[in-house]
Each structure stands twice: as C-alpha cells, then as structure tokens.
Amino acid sequence: MTAPVLLEVRGLTRRYRLPRRSLLRPGPVLTAVDNASFTIRAGETLGIVGESGSGKSTLARMVMAFEKPDAGQVLFQGQDPHALSHSALRQLRQGFQMVFQDPYGSLDPRRRVGWSIAEPLRAMGEAGTQARTAQALTQVGLSGQDAEKYPHEFSGGQRQRIAIARAIVTRPALLVADEAVSALDVSVQAQILNLLMDLQEDLGLGILFISHDLAVVAQVCDHLMVMQHGKTLESGAVTEILRGPSHDYTRSLLTAAGVTP
C-alpha cells in the first residue's frame, strides 16, 4: 500500500526586495525560490541540493512556516500552515520539526539540555515532559541522565544528537534537516546520518534533507531535487539522477562531490 503524503509543496515562490541602487528607483527584486513543487510521503527522504544561494534554506523556512511565500502553497497532512491562526499553527507544528546546522546555536547555553529538549512540549502545554525528554535522549543514543547537563559538556556530534532529540520529542511525522551534518567531522557525519536513517525506520518519519553536498544526499535520500538560483533544475529518484544527470550543473555537483555517474 502506498504511504500517505505528509508534505505537498505547490508552486512555492519567494521574492525579496534588495536595497535600492538609486534614490529614484526601487531596489531590484531577487527571486530566491521560483515555483518549487514536490511531495514527501511517510518513510521517504527527499534531498534538496544546491550551492549557497540556491534557495534551499529559504524553501525550508517556508515549509516550516517561518516565512510566508509570495505565491504557491504548503500543505502538511492536508493543512496549509500559512493559513492557520497562531494557536492552530502551534498545535500543527508538533507534527513537523526542524534540525538546524548549528546545534550549539539552537541550545540555550545557560539551560540544562533537558530544559531545551522539552521546550516544544511546554509550548504546546504538554505534561510529562521529563519522561518524554528522557525517552528522546535514549532514542538518539544518549542517556536520560544527560538531561541534567549543559550544552558545553557535550561534543559537537552529541549536541547534534540533542538537537535531534529536541526535534523528535513531539513525535513528529516530518523532520526538516537543514545542513544538519555540514558542521561535523566526516566520521561524526556518518554517525548522525545513520541515526537519522534508524529513526526514520523506527518512527516512520518523512525527512526533507537539505545539503550542499551531493555525496551526503546520495547516502540517505530516496528522491532528489537540484536547485540553482532559486530554480529547480531537475528532480526524481536519486538513483536515476546519479546514473544519468540531465543538467550540467548537476554533473558539476557530482564531480565536486567525487560521485561517479
């Protein structure tokens, strides 16, 4: 049976007005994301790859409802988060969570990590946060007792595990990982990628995985979307694109990543 669609993105577009170059004329408009469309089903991973400035992080922020699109629509389990009230969005957001590039920046250095992990639960008025926090830490390969420690007591890889624990503590259906392993050493990257794949298998997660590194995307993703300057150049199954990329830009990313078509 086909897995249900978790996320559907339809023609998503985002434009920014740049600083004016003349007092007499408005600033130019930059189209950061231009008519992007894709779907993610439960248990699937879609990789979005492109160099810095390709629009992939802007796309992630619109999916998370941190930014409003200028055109198009985001549907998470059939609901448009951009059309909801603040309270309704807060409730819906327990179903989709984000893992950021910098784990230390997403954790309050003045608070024990258990407090930071439980923050999404408190925002939704959930009870039993201590037990849920300990469970989430165990799921990412740490100890429930680690909740009493501070961020500086952990390595970079451990902090990223804590950030993932914070993302899964609400028991979401979808994770958005924005350059989630790019700040880590190669050996630690592999550990975090394996963790994400294990969590996906255990929890049935859909994952939107954003990276500039096509070699990393090739390891963990089922489907791939290649972006440049806000435009989608090609999309499809990872194996098909790696075997026969249709665009020169994709071929250049493969060469840079040391991946042989």
- Give 258's pLDDT tier (boundaries 50, 70, 90): confident
Over residues 1-50, the pLDDT tens digits come to 788 899 999 999 999 988 877 777 888 889 999 999 999 999 999 999 99
Query: pLDDT band at 261, cuts 50/70/90?
Result: low
pLDDT of amino acid 181: 85
Q: 232-250 burial string, b = 16+ CB within 10 Å, else e? A: bbebeebeebbeebeeebb
Rounded to whole angstroms, the Cα distance separating 238 from 242 reads 6
Share of the chain above pLDDT 90, in %: 66
What's the chain's Rg over C-alpha atoms?
19
**pLDDT at 260 (0 to 100):** 64
Arithmetic mean of pLDDT over the chain: 91
